[in-house]
Homo-oligomer: A and B are copies of this chain.
Amino acid sequence: MPNNTLVIIGGDAAGMSATSKVRRVHPDKEIIVFEKSNYTSYSACGIPYYISGTVENVEELIRRSPDEFRKRYNIDVRTMNLVLAVDTDGKRIKVLDKEKGTEFWQKYDQLLIATGGKPYCPEHISGHDAENVFGVSTLKSGINIENYIKDTKPKSAVIIGGGYIGLEMAEALLIRGLKVSLVNRAPQVMNTLDPDMGAMVSEAIKNLGVTLYLDEELKSFDCTDNKVTKIITDKRTIEADMVVFGMGSSPNTHFLEGSKIALGIKGAIKVNAQMQTNIPDVWAAGDCTETLNLVSKQHMYIALGTVANKTGLVAGSGIAGEKAVFPGAVGTAVCKVCSYEVARTGLQEKELKKLGIEYVTATIDSKTRADYYPGAKKITVKLLAEKNSGRLLGGQIIGEEGAAKRIDVLATAVTHNLTLQNIIDLDLSYAPPFSPVWDPVQTAARKLIKDV
């Protein structure tokens, strides 16, 4: 093998999926992983459940520790090492050893950038970095929140932003006994749903006991002793003992500014289907990259564990000399807030309007089981389909137990250009404990097909 040293920046989902793949193919290759924290290969998605106490020990979120990678897989994992810059001409990266406080250059033959995402933080607002203000991204960020709660016993929290993480953190803090308020700039939470579906989630959140301030924007913080005490919006002042940002995330690519690596949407790294950047021998994967949306055929930025694992595997395969391709995603996502389940896939109305695609929609209420079977819960399904062709373009589901995973059939349908008639014709499983005889997604398709 002419290229000897593989350097990977970032030791979580994408980076370690790639690492493991390369190691399986090349048992002797030199692989060095630089990770800024003390942790590798953990489930960042599990953090809200650690905060809530649903998951007891933070160790449960760790799939493989740096030591395991070192000893069992012969991977040179360097924790507490922050990469500061990439010099693609010199095929080297600049690294800060955070423990020693020293900087050095590391040569690479092949490089994989898998630095993930970071929660959006309104850096123009003074107090955004106060000690009781938190983002949720790395395992360290989760531990920080947990320690803060344990040490200071806050009684109230304000969440800024009503996306998945905002809602999951709202649940977590409710469970911990805090009074929770949520400030959301848009008229409804969960802006990856259409507003009519988002409104149902807003209602559900309120029913859980979250004080919801919709159509309202964070303007400033009042701070005392490096702690935020008041959150000031365009409409009111809210006192709180802690603040959590749930305003979405952006790629962790600031250290690439000035490098020759091409960046795209939101600063995410541009990659081809093999997860190669514009620079030879430099790959990128996971939340720091752009993702092709298979429905709009446009690139988007999403930060999701599924995509990170898939793109990490594809990058690893390519680096290992195998052929592999990541075709793209359709924006499938799912979220649980207390007993409510929310799921979505494909494009939503505002995206379709922007793309100038003529579409029709229908929304139905059904049950998760046969009506008469105990535990049958309400499920609401909204479908979006192309006018005339009837091709499914997107789906949104809100319901209780058993509702959300039904999005997977819609994700499969959207990916493979199935029409509403195709969905009606699907031989989906039925027995009274599992579904009505027409699965709710088919009931929605039956309603919508009349308008195509």
Contacts and interface: CB of A to CB of B under 8 A. Distances in A.
Given A55-B372, A330-B427, A405-B405, 19 more contacts: A54-B373, A54-B374, A164-B431, A306-B437, A306-B438, A310-B424, A310-B425, A329-B427, A333-B429, A335-B431, A336-B431, A405-B435, A408-B408, A408-B428, A408-B439, A409-B409, A411-B426, A412-B412, A415-B427
Contact of A373 (B49, B374, B406): B49
Contacts of A439: 408
28 contacts: A43-B372, A45-B430, A46-B372, A49-B433, A55-B374, A164-B431, A294-B427, A305-B430, A306-B430, A306-B437, A307-B427, A309-B438, A329-B427, A331-B427, A332-B429, A334-B430, A335-B431, A345-B429, A405-B406, A408-B409, A408-B426, A411-B427, A411-B428, A412-B413, A412-B418, A415-B425, A416-B416, A416-B422
Top 4 A-B pairs ranked by shortest CB distance? A334-B429, A60-B372, A329-B427, A336-B433
Nearest to A46: B432
A119 interface: no
Contacts of A438: 306, 309
Interface of A: 13, 43, 45-46, 49, 54-55, 60-61, 164, 294, 304-307, 309-310, 326-327, 329-336, 341, 343, 345, 370-374, 402, 404-409, 411-413, 415-416, 418, 422, 424-435, 437-439
A404 B306 contact: no
A43 to B, nearest CB: 6
A130 to B, nearest CB: 29
A427 to B, nearest CB: 4
Contacts of A373: 46, 49, 54-55
Contact of A434 (B334, B409, B428): B334
Stoichiometry, copies per complex? 2
A440 to B, nearest CB: 11
B55 A434 contact: no
A49 B427 contact: no
A115 to B, nearest CB: 19
A46 B437 CA distance: 11
B372 A427 contact: no
B372 A61 contact: yes
Between A294, A309, A326, the greatest number of chain B beta carbons within 10 A of the residue's beta carbon is seen for: A309
A25 to B, nearest CB: 13
A426 B411 CA distance: 7
A305 B427 contact: no
A345 B284 CA distance: 38
Contacts of A412: 409, 412-413, 418, 426, 428
Nearest to A344: B429
A159 B335 CA distance: 43
Nearest to A54: B374
Contact of A429 (B326, B327, B404, B416): B404
Contacts of A371: 60
Given A49-B432, A406-B405, A425 B326 contact: yes
B405 A434 contact: yes
Nearest to A45: B432
Contacts of A332: 427-429
A434 B43 contact: no
A432 B43 CA distance: 9
A142 B45 CA distance: 47
B343 A429 contact: yes
